[in-house]
Structure 1
Amino acid sequence: MRQRPRGDSRGILDPGRMLREVRFRRHLPAEPLRRWVEHYWLIDWELSTPFEQRVVPHPAVNVVFRRDGDGPESGEVAGVGRDLFRITLTGTGRVGGVQFRPGGFHAFWRQPISELTGLRVPLPTGRLAPPDFPVCAAADDERCRAMDALLTAWDPAPDPMGDEAIRLTEAIRTDRTVLRVDDFAARHDLPVRRLQRLFLEYVGVGPKWVIRRYRLQEAVEQAAGGPLEWAALAADLGYSDQAHLVRDFTAVAGVSPAAYARSVH
């Protein structure tokens, strides 16, 4: 079980600028929740000019609480986003979010996660009501306790198939040699159609999309780190040629790899 939150910037476009503009940090949830939850993420800002942040979404559901200035706190469930996520922050505000492990939100939602894909819906009332104290409270520990209380109150139900989906998506994320669905299915002794059904039910998108998204996030992260040999990277990430990588990168990030690298550096 992970003992500290991930330290990478994968999926965040121009992470250096983001860290100059806002306070961003991650915290682990209470230990019983870690089988389903990747981390909590907190952002505070106090801006004199508007700031736009862009994110290449992970194949993960987020539950997000936001408060702008002295306004009320709102909450929503954000399904897996297929497109580039953009948000413009102004003035002052706070956000507290739960990033679930891919496949992890099913234990709380208990319905096909594909029904949420591409959607952002208000946090349902009743069983999924917010806790008694705000998630966007002053101190980080208070905010984390609020999210612990909320998730514990949802009474997540362990599910062997959910555990399998979490394990398989983690294998795709961490093993960059995973490039094709049929090879991955064979490696884990699974029929391709069963793998596809499992991912749609528990992750919200198919395994091919997950593989391509994780490999593209690697390309984005590497582009932010310094000059690259794009043809070699394309081959390394399983693309037929450099042009294919450029097309996918541009479609997901909104700019070409070369233009993104120039803007970051």
Structure 2
Amino acid sequence: MERDPRELGGAWRAAQRHTFAEPSGEPARYVARYWSVTWEYERPYRQLVVPLPNVHLSFRDGRAEVHGPSSAHVYRELSGTGSVFGVAFRPGMFRPFLGGPVARLRDRTIDATAVFGAALPTIADVDTVERFLRAHLPGPDPRADLAARVVAAIAQDIEVTRVETIADRFGLSVRGLQRLFAEYVGLGPKWVVRRYRLHEITERLAGGTEIDWAGTAAELGYADQAHLSRDFRRIFGEPPTRYAQRYDAR
């Protein structure tokens, strides 16, 4: 398929604006960040969206939706002029709002009122949403806090390449960790480990670092470069060298 030149070298920035804000007060226990995207396209653009183990609450065109954690990339069509505002919940911390296993939301989008009720605003900004969340915070859930700590440890420690490593660190069996993730994260711990290790690659690409693919595969716990490329393509939709073309040349 012929490549859309708007995908290359950071050209998408000419038509899109992304902003982020940090949560404050008690909502910060549950929320990783607030985000917004605005765009203007004369002809439709196919936006690649790559997954992380967050649940998102989004507001667009008067509709509020909850997006469960995605196990693979998706494409969303952007056309004309539009905007969306969203809340990214910390991995593990949406379960107290949902009242059931987050695995039920995997790769699904539902009407947000099914979780938050009819009082949820449909047109939102940081102040509006944070005020709503502050008034509707769930009770404490130590298991949610544990799940959030485990995911944070995976994200921050590049040396975590095996599920057994992180299970041992938190005094859990592998099976116990799998049950915790099904209930609170919605994706398996092996997937989360792989996703964050592949995130190391995209961070380096964004920073203009030249990648030694064979060496990076070994560093991130892959048997060889082919296994890394296979996982990368499954999550990001294209092989690493093609994905690298999306970033500015340095």
Answering whether residue 38 of structure 2 is matched by residue 38 of structure 1, we say no
* 1:73-152 mapped onto 2 (5 Å cutoff): 73-125=62-114, 127-132=116-121, 134-135=123-124, 143-152=125-134
Give the Cα–Cα distance (whole angstroms) in 2 for the partners of residues 234 and 53 of structure 1: 27
SS at 2:221's partner residue? coil
Q: What residue ranges of structure 2 are gaps of 5+ in the alignment?
A: 1-6
Higher mean C-alpha deviation, range 98-107 or range 212-221: 212-221
Answering whether residue 188 of structure 2 is matched by residue 206 of structure 1, we say yes
The root-mean-square deviation of aligned C-alpha atoms, in Å, is: 2.0
Moved over 4 A (4+): none
Q: What residue identity is the alignment partner of 1:48?
A: E
Q: What residue identity is the alignment partner of 1:65?
A: F
Structure 2 partner of 1:138: none
Contact 2:59 2:122 in 1 (8 A): no
Q: Go from structure 1 to structure 2 and tell me whether the alpha carbon gap of 1:146 and 1:133 turns closer, same or farther (over 3 Å shift).
A: farther
Contact 1:21 1:51 in 2 (8 A): no
Contact 2:229 2:239 in 1 (8 A): yes
Q: 2:60 aligns with which of 56, 66, 81?
A: 66
Q: What residue identity is the alignment partner of 1:195?
A: L
SS at 1:178's partner residue? coil
Q: Go from structure 1 to structure 2 and tell me whether the alpha carbon gap of 1:132 and 1:81 turns closer, same or farther (over 3 Å shift).
A: closer
- Give the % identical residues: 41
> CA-to-partner distance for each residue in 1:196-242, whole Å, 9 max, x for gaps?
11111011111111101111222233234342110011011110111
Q: What residue identity is the alignment partner of 1:252?
A: I
Q: CA deviation at 1:192?
A: 1.5
Q: CA deviation at 1:96?
A: 0.6
Give the Cα–Cα distance (whole angstroms) in 2 for the partners of residues 197 and 14 of structure 1: 40
SS at 2:39's partner residue? strand
SS at 1:255's partner residue? coil
Give the Cα–Cα distance (whole angstroms) in 2 for the partners of residues 178 and 43 of structure 1: 32
> CA-to-partner distance for each residue in 1:135-188, whole Å, 9 max, x for gaps?
1xxxxxxx1011113322433221111101101100000101001111221122
* 1:1-265 mapped onto 2 (5 Å cutoff): 16-67=10-61, 73-125=62-114, 127-132=116-121, 134-135=123-124, 143-224=125-206, 225-264=208-247, 265=249
Q: CA deviation at 1:94?
A: 1.4
Give the Cα–Cα distance (whole angstroms) in 2 for the partners of residues 191 and 78 of structure 1: 29
Q: CA deviation at 1:21?
A: 1.8
Give the Cα–Cα distance (whole angstroms) in 2 for the partners of residues 26 and 74 of structure 1: 20
Give the Cα–Cα distance (whole angstroms) in 2 for the partners of residues 175 and 85 of structure 1: 27
Q: CA deviation at 1:26?
A: 0.5
Give the Cα–Cα distance (whole angstroms) in 2 for the partners of residues 27 and 90 of structure 1: 25
TM-score by length of 1: 0.84
Q: Go from structure 1 to structure 2 and tell me whether the alpha carbon gap of 1:81 and 1:199 turns closer, same or farther (over 3 Å shift).
A: same
Structure 1 partner of 2:4: none
Q: What residue identity is the alignment partner of 1:149?
A: R
Q: Go from structure 1 to structure 2 and tell me whether the alpha carbon gap of 1:132 and 1:63 turns closer, same or farther (over 3 Å shift).
A: closer
Count of residues in Structure 1 that have an aligned counterpart in Structure 2:
241
SS at 1:29's partner residue? coil
Give the Cα–Cα distance (whole angstroms) in 2 for the partners of residues 164 and 125 of structure 1: 26
Q: What residue identity is the alignment partner of 1:51?
A: Y
TM-score by length of 2: 0.89
Q: CA deviation at 1:25?
A: 0.5
Contact 1:23 1:45 in 2 (8 A): yes
